[in-house]
Structure 1
């Protein structure tokens, strides 16, 4: 059977020099993305797909190696290397590479000696010497020149990621900067230089610290260890061990780079606005001399043992208890992956999967889900569940396994499988609208070794699956061969405290510029003409009838629609609507059960949501336009005829109570609650809830009545889709009761009020972890002034935004104080609100005071650099020129402008004004708005691990309990 399938797929593949192309490429007949795959003589793969919606290009450079290939004695190496790839080459990132080289060589030798030492005093002395030599090397360093280069060409989203099988480098560039981008990347991949090592190492360690409080990481690590006991998937992690992170080897990193970072192990994946032949010619120009590696074959490991009985393991952490179940499958390029994907969707698709209907819909546990993870050597399918109050993890497991049993017996609707296939088709069509999604597909195909014809044929293969095949597959592969990871709540005894190292800040040398950067800056490219939103031309202001206005944008590309009914009130006016929306999700009507409602929406490849914000409420539908009328009718039927279920309501309240208690155990949620408290005080968006006692006493029919009566209030229809205006009006008139819409005024919102910072103060809330989350807020009560928008935007770009900003350079690059650090002057979202400024950092407990000191240093005296400012300006101008607001985003842009009291695209004003702004303008803005101001320090951390004496010097400390920041 497999041979027949592969023969059919192979017959689709064409090798062509088509359309006058002078480069050979592969393509697949019927491929909707019209992907071309080129291979240069040195083995470099190039995946290209043209999408001219906006003059930008999503680029991924994928190296087919990840943590799986880390040396066992220096795990985390692939991830280290990813960070170091941003440090430059012998052409940029350095003023004098010849003078620098002996120091870098000395540092490498010292690290090799350092990692062999065990005596603490000897290690301290050796690290001090490394720090000293690093200072000598740093005099030639120009930190963040890579980021300057990317800013200069107008790139967005400069980033990279490492996983088990891949290390991938990401840029989103303007379409006129392909040559500069290729020049920079080719030099980077051929001539990477390891510099700034000890400060970047500390940043990586801070990333490790953040992972210690993420219990999901612990669950994943434990699952992999049991499923893959003798394979690197299970024996080592991407972030590496604590011991290895503190004992790195530059020599091993260089050897790793030399082996794996070679053209015949790399793919350049691009989607966007370009001419494929021109792109290939440019890539060949810069990458063509890159020499291939002798051996890039992936290591072969012994076959992982098949489990013959269930295996249990346990991890401990501060977050709420939950459980994972996992099964091992064949590698991602196997056709078995098709079936695994379908089964995952049949179990959990967010709407009508077995877990969705049998567990989540019926509230048998707090929540359940499923995920398929295809990888290069193996794949796995994971099911997860969180218990409700009084429920054991063993009971959670039994419920999840019972759904697997239903697949074995065929005990599910005959509509489920075809509905899954239809929705996977819709997801694929949606992905084709995104350059990023297309490029990611190329990365996955390359890394996993999946032929592109196999990817293109996936939907057709899925369409041919039968219920009988699914049953047979599940019976064969879902036996007692699973792993259970129990996540228990408690203090993890394996976490060790590491004191901060003695690092002398390296100079930022921000005024130094290499010749390479100057050459890129001076390169002349054909400019991209900006195209900003003209609301009068790009948006149609119409109406369904005299009482129902519409905002309309036509979709001329495909058959997808998005529509929303928007009401100008939210939970500031009435908290009950949010709970009514949640409760509705568990209900049926007088003629349809809750399960049938969800099954029908899923069958239509449509979905709905009711979103209640602070100031507005939207009822949204999206999916296939051909099914929109039926979806509209079904949604109205649900909202008008939902049937009260008191038992379901009581269970809903119980689940809400459990979810609130679980939220208190999550570090990020704690900080979100504290941050909101810091901005608004006790009456804030995150704390604004109906208490459980009141919710329990509420009549559920009262909640449903609120939704039923929504059409009484003034609202607006927002629509993006292929229907004409008249077709939209007809569809809404035919399938809803909208012609009877009332003009009743909406309830009045009681706005959250941002609290001014008149004096220094510290808000400290508890969370027992190895790191703190900290923000410094300042709000002097100024309303947004559109005339200041350009200088605000430029200040953010220059001071606190990306990796080329002052904050990133000073806090992370120079001092290694954090993995995550930024600052932002935030304009008000509404014309009656105020602007505010804040800094943000996540750092080790014993680095807190260093962070505060440095923040104040750069806030009170912003480092000055004409060169850095010019790069910030150039970056903004190129980004804005190539930015396009399209589709439903046009409607959202109008709504946002309206909230701010304007009727134009403010980005156009920024674009026109930024070229004339000077460093003096930015410094004046900073001096007036952020320097020498009283700040509200918002800190989440363990007080016992903090230097409270030093902290109290900044202001009085107000200790908030967890209950105070959550409001319950």
Structure 2
């Protein structure tokens, strides 16, 4: 993606849903609009996804979906070109264009969609690339729809001339940084590369990764990339989806006006399905620089997306691996105690499919033990099969996931586009539902026998350095190319050089940006509020777009109520609450939840413990009864407690060599101090977790779990009266109590202007974190400082940090800055991962940007900030999660329901001088901690040149 590379499309994420009989989809005719409906029926709910589809003479396929719940429109341009359209030796081009298409076009100019998005209050122009497609998407206020249609057309028809050698050179560096961040510098990052090289022959389009190889990218010429664009980014290979609140008659006129004259390209033929064929199993191993646990991944060739067998295969994977009853869990976790969990999924793409089973074993286990355990689990499944009740609970969960995928206009646009490029029918979801609903227990066993049992597979063993004894027997060394850190290896790039070219002609004047349409004022949802007699406050928003209820119960305390030398209790408690109740074992509780199509999670945080729930509206009352049982009747099972501790210890172990996790942990210690509870990892340390007993959890629970320090936020299709009625039992059973919550804390004093270095040998990137303890969310300067930060690092591609370090230099894939705070002071933080050999240069540039910010902030910067922050409020509460966030802010800080409107006034009253004053007060680089997590051997000696003296090495034992 623009911010994260996508790999495989998983059918279940969008396509799998469940219902009874469904109507066939109406046919459509090219060049003629037709109304279509994809209808999902459930026992007590019906959801209609109405759409209109038409085609332009040049082949562009257009889909409209009207949703007037919020004054916003999702604009989704999907090109049917991914890495499978590439050639060996010329890989990574589709993903490269995902990046390039945001930078410039003939009529938008430099900055292209990114600058436009900031001005119009869009969600941020973004994109993703898979093996099969590249998409470009964002949600904008409805008054900016014509602007977006104009901009998307410019991207397709008036773009390629702006790609020059300097632009290409810089974007190559950005993409290579993305690969370093997501693959080279990540634990187990090379797993997919090793699997695909073994699974597919060299001429197969799945033999290479979506992101491509560094060598292929470096060797790509300007002519190469222009040829690729002109072949595949043509109207007859593109789907445009508009979903949201707009006039379809006017929108069609705009689409025809701006897209109609773009010439049709060469015909694009469908690619032949080409599943992998393995004659024998292949076993490979790799010593992973960042791994701390041995990991076994088994991969079997299966079938492509929409194949009839893909549906039972997905259910097979869910049954084998998900939950307490899953055979893999019963054998590997409960019986053999080899791992904390197993993951399995049937990953499908347009041409191929592959079933993948992944297990990260505990650090003292070997992968032969894991392999033997997997076979035991398979033997168990062969004997027992899958019951009808298990089929029902898995399908209920998939139904809930389906509704969640439709809870935003962006989600709907992606679903419509996906089915359209796969088979030309946006309403194919109805057929998908029928095929999934028709899966039987016999089908699940049949696909297991056909694709898994006794069939050849690829096995990869990724083990820590020096732990070859843990590798699966019979494995050979995988060929993995790892980049060396060489100072000055890359040439400097200057993408600011203006391209010279003859402008592409047009029948209309495209140089003028279209005007705004009718205003898109933000809709503040109606909020209801209540307080139970036990002291629990309840806030809600009724939302009938989808038949779901989503809510959270927040219990104040969390990490803050733990002993500083025995951290990890609240996290373990949150895990134990989901491991059974007084009346239900772990398995019985899981099954009860899943039969309702519900998802219940409990998480501990610094200041609270949160129980989050999503469930089908028709099952809300039953789900609420389970929530009450979870909260008030823990099981306290000693065996489950031992498993939970082992899982936490495994997670702590994995964090030890993850550069981003290390950076976050070290930054917290440097800014809060070793003795401040806020400096501690919510998981605890190996020492503290080992010291925790189940009595510690019971003590924390009895002292701190009281209704009087709890609140509930709820969003869904039920009314206030219905929700209140559902809480009568909880109100009676859950008592108030006195809990000694710590008072809000101010920012601790620290010694700024110092560089700290944490060594991770051979790291391919340096993770940098720069900042200091700053403001509480309740501070009068908090939101004004957030407004100031928009241009610094909070505005994505509108920010200086991104423009300078990514767009200007190609040092990083992404960088951001921001203030975080609650009632207590939080940090100001700048964070990024940068190419190792420009660590110093990146820090010097950050320091300069901070130092110059106040003096260089301009009226144009302020105009961009105001435009974005005001206009973006049109989409501020579109999703259920956004509405829950709004309710949480109101409850926690006592803000009015209209606080967004109050913030608009702050923005409107902001001046350049006020911004400069805030910058001088809060952006002093000499007050900040400068932390680097990277390769000390090559980068530590250079840190003294930053001007803050010699860097302090935080883990000298690595030297």
What band does the TM-score fall into relative to the shorter chain?
0.7 to 0.9
Question: Which residue pairs with 1:98 in the alignment?
Answer: none
Query: Would you say 1:221 and 2:212 are equivalent positions?
Result: no
Question: Which residue pairs with 1:671 in the alignment?
Answer: 663
- State the SS of the aligned residue for 2:849: helix
**Contact persistence 2:76–2:137 (CA under 8 A):** yes
- State the SS of the aligned residue for 1:380: strand
Structure 1 residues 951 and 440, CA, compared in 2 at 3 Å: closer, same or farther?
farther
Separation (CA, whole Å) in 2 of partners of 1:179 and 1:309: 56
Gaps of 5+ in 1: 1-7, 94-142
Question: Which residue pairs with 1:257 in the alignment?
Answer: 229
Structure 1 residues 596 and 788, CA, compared in 2 at 3 Å: closer, same or farther?
closer
How far off is 1:354 after superposition? 4.1
**Contact persistence 2:49–2:65 (CA under 8 A):** yes
Which aligned pairs between 1:6-155 and structure 2 lie closer than 5 A? Answer: 12-15=24-27, 23-24=33-34, 27-28=37-38, 32-93=48-109, 143-155=110-122
**Contact persistence 2:539–2:891 (CA under 8 A):** no
Query: Would you say 1:384 and 2:351 are equivalent positions?
Result: no
Number of aligned pairs? 891
How far off is 1:912 after superposition? 2.4
Separation (CA, whole Å) in 2 of partners of 1:963 and 1:681: 21
Structure 1 residues 151 and 740, CA, compared in 2 at 3 Å: closer, same or farther?
closer
How far off is 1:470 after superposition? 1.6
1:732 corresponds to which of 720, 727, 733: 727
- State the SS of the aligned residue for 1:436: helix
Which aligned pairs between 1:454-473 and structure 2 lie closer than 5 A? Answer: 454-473=428-447
**Contact persistence 2:600–2:614 (CA under 8 A):** yes
- State the SS of the aligned residue for 1:786: coil
Query: Would you say 1:630 and 2:622 are equivalent positions?
Result: yes
1:166 corresponds to which of 128, 133, 139: 133
**Contact persistence 2:331–2:373 (CA under 8 A):** no
How far off is 1:772 after superposition? 0.3
Question: Which residue pairs with 1:133 in the alignment?
Answer: none
Separation (CA, whole Å) in 2 of partners of 1:404 and 1:572: 44
How far off is 1:613 after superposition? 1.8
How far off is 1:703 after superposition? 2.3
Separation (CA, whole Å) in 2 of partners of 1:37 and 1:335: 26
TM-score scaled to structure 2, two decimals?
A: 0.85
Which aligned pairs between 1:468-479 and structure 2 lie closer than 5 A? Answer: 468-479=442-453
- State the SS of the aligned residue for 2:727: helix
How far off is 1:181 after superposition? 0.7
Separation (CA, whole Å) in 2 of partners of 1:442 and 1:716: 38
How far off is 1:754 after superposition? 4.2
Query: Would you say 1:909 and 2:897 are equivalent positions?
Result: no
How far off is 1:784 after superposition? 5.3
1:488 corresponds to which of 427, 443, 463: 463
Structure 1 residues 626 and 788, CA, compared in 2 at 3 Å: closer, same or farther?
closer
1:324-343 per-position Cα deviation (integer Å, ceiling 9, x unaligned): 11122222132222222222
Structure 1 residues 325 and 962, CA, compared in 2 at 3 Å: closer, same or farther?
farther
- State the SS of the aligned residue for 1:561: strand
Which aligned pairs between 1:910-925 and structure 2 lie closer than 5 A? Answer: 910-925=903-918
Separation (CA, whole Å) in 1 of partners of 2:237 and 2:655: 44
Which aligned pairs between 1:232-243 and structure 2 lie closer than 5 A? Answer: 232-243=204-215
Please tell me the root mean square deviation across aligned C-alpha atoms, in Å. 3.4
Query: Would you say 1:550 and 2:541 are equivalent positions?
Result: no
Question: Which residue pairs with 1:569 in the alignment?
Answer: 557
Separation (CA, whole Å) in 2 of partners of 1:647 and 1:782: 41
TM-score scaled to structure 1, two decimals?
A: 0.85
- More moved, 366-375 vs 885-894: 885-894
Separation (CA, whole Å) in 2 of partners of 1:882 and 1:643: 42
- More moved, 49-58 vs 904-913: 904-913
Separation (CA, whole Å) in 1 of partners of 2:84 and 2:32: 38
**Contact persistence 2:777–2:822 (CA under 8 A):** no
- State the SS of the aligned residue for 2:599: strand
How far off is 1:432 after superposition? 2.1
- State the SS of the aligned residue for 2:798: coil
- State the SS of the aligned residue for 1:954: coil
Structure 1 residues 452 and 407, CA, compared in 2 at 3 Å: closer, same or farther?
farther
Question: Which residue pairs with 1:444 in the alignment?
Answer: 418
Structure 1 residues 312 and 180, CA, compared in 2 at 3 Å: closer, same or farther?
same
**Contact persistence 1:215–1:319 (CA under 8 A):** yes
**Contact persistence 1:57–1:271 (CA under 8 A):** yes
Structure 1 residues 695 and 629, CA, compared in 2 at 3 Å: closer, same or farther?
same
Separation (CA, whole Å) in 1 of partners of 2:857 and 2:115: 16
Question: Which residue pairs with 2:342 in the alignment?
Answer: 368
**Contact persistence 1:17–1:25 (CA under 8 A):** no
2:834 corresponds to which of 843, 850, 863: 843
- More moved, 146-155 vs 158-167: 146-155
How far off is 1:626 after superposition? 3.1
1:206 corresponds to which of 169, 172, 177: 177
Question: Which residue pairs with 1:338 in the alignment?
Answer: 311
Query: Would you say 1:422 and 2:396 are equivalent positions?
Result: yes
Separation (CA, whole Å) in 1 of partners of 2:530 and 2:407: 27
Query: Would you say 1:432 and 2:406 are equivalent positions?
Result: yes
Query: Would you say 1:595 and 2:607 are equivalent positions?
Result: no
How far off is 1:366 after superposition? 2.2
**Contact persistence 1:322–1:385 (CA under 8 A):** yes
Separation (CA, whole Å) in 2 of partners of 1:46 and 1:58: 13
Rg larger in structure: 1
- State the SS of the aligned residue for 2:388: coil
**Contact persistence 1:554–1:724 (CA under 8 A):** yes
How far off is 1:253 after superposition? 0.6
How far off is 1:298 after superposition? 4.3
1:709-750 per-position Cα deviation (integer Å, ceiling 9, x unaligned): 76645133433344444443443334x5x4144331113237
Structure 1 residues 26 and 289, CA, compared in 2 at 3 Å: closer, same or farther?
farther
Question: Which residue pairs with 1:102 in the alignment?
Answer: none
1:193-226 per-position Cα deviation (integer Å, ceiling 9, x unaligned): 2032222222222223222122444111112222
- More moved, 923-932 vs 814-823: 923-932
Separation (CA, whole Å) in 2 of partners of 1:938 and 1:779: 14
Gaps of 5+ in 2: 1-19, 41-46, 467-479
Question: Which residue pairs with 1:108 in the alignment?
Answer: none
1:83-108 per-position Cα deviation (integer Å, ceiling 9, x unaligned): 22123233342xxxxxxxxxxxxxxx
How far off is 1:572 after superposition? 0.6
Separation (CA, whole Å) in 1 of partners of 2:215 and 2:923: 41
Separation (CA, whole Å) in 1 of partners of 2:242 and 2:771: 40
**Contact persistence 2:756–2:951 (CA under 8 A):** yes
Question: Which residue pairs with 1:760 in the alignment?
Answer: 753
Separation (CA, whole Å) in 1 of partners of 2:778 and 2:611: 30
Separation (CA, whole Å) in 2 of partners of 1:927 and 1:665: 37
- More moved, 882-891 vs 183-192: 882-891
How far off is 1:606 after superposition? 2.1
- More moved, 559-568 vs 812-821: 559-568
**Contact persistence 1:22–1:277 (CA under 8 A):** no
Separation (CA, whole Å) in 1 of partners of 2:56 and 2:509: 28
**Contact persistence 2:28–2:34 (CA under 8 A):** yes
1:306 corresponds to which of 260, 267, 277: 277
**Contact persistence 1:55–1:174 (CA under 8 A):** yes
Structure 1 residues 441 and 372, CA, compared in 2 at 3 Å: closer, same or farther?
farther
